Amino acid sequence: MALPVDVEALDKAFSGIGVDEKSLISILTNSNEHKRSLRKGSSKLFIEDENGFERWDQSSIKILKHQFNRFRDAVVLSLLHPWERDARLIEKAIRKGPKHYNVIVEMACTRSSDQLLGARKAYHSLFHHSIEEHLTHIKGRERKLLVALVSAYRYEGTGVNEDVAKSEAQILYEAINNGDKNKLLDHEDAIMILASRSKQHLQALYRHYNQSYDKTLAQDLEGEGILKDTVECLCTPQTYFTRVLEAAVKEDADEESKRALTRVIVTQKEQLVKEGFVPNKIQDILLGLYKDFMLASIASGDIK
């Protein structure tokens, strides 16, 4: 007979992000009678039909599939060559549509010029087209910005012309505040600035914008989707990644938000370590091998 503590432990093993495999082995290697009691006691996982038969709740099966796959997905992403990994993530984001375009922004804006060029080369080999070709299938206004971002080969030196940065901050301010925000993705100067300038230049621009106007650039772009993601990834990556990770561990987080946790920790490890990311906010909600792998990934600080 399964004790209440075993039923509670079974529910808890599936109640975070990932699966507590050790607890499951301990609970599920008991007698058939014990497991029958577990089925009757675990209303989160099983339902009883009109004939008294205990069976899986179909929605629970779907959730468990995602939970068991998290460790596998993290391992696969870690094993792939970084260029192949980024190329596959970009291709998947293009296929899945607008809600996933932030992944393209992540890859384009957080990589060095050589890393992004490597991902573009890998894309040619894997999909026999360029990223730009596949982005032309996008019908929305995001296409122009996305094509410009993935095509960039940014200067990576430290030199910044502060006067130019300040004048381009004004260009962005006027584009955002003196026109139709819905047309911002069609503003050629804004796209040119975001897609071609060095990250050091854009960070100086960001500083001038915040010092010169009532609202910060991030505040003025609130609700603007990939435009805000682009600015954050280029100018304040820690803000962007913190936002993504916090969204992933909310109680009401959807599956896509939870998947982002794996992607960000595995693919942005260098950035997380550089920005001094402390994993306290995620370690209490992760479970099992997935938790061990994620925390070890951050702690190792491997730079690929």
- Tokens 């075993």, residue located: 6
18 in helix, strand or coil?
strand
| Segment holding 290, helix H or strand E | helix 288-300
Q: How far apart are CA 59 and CA 303, in angstroms?
A: 39
Task: Tell the burial category of 147 from Cβ atoms under 10 Å away from its Cβ (0-12, 13-18, 19+).
Answer: buried
- 241 in a labelled binding site: no
CA distances (Å), 184 to each of 109, 173, 179, 212, 238, in order? 19, 11, 8, 20, 25
For 46, which DSSP code? E
Find out whether 97 is annotated in a ligand binding site.
no
Binding residues for Ca(2+): 14, 16, 18
Binding residues: 14, 16, 18
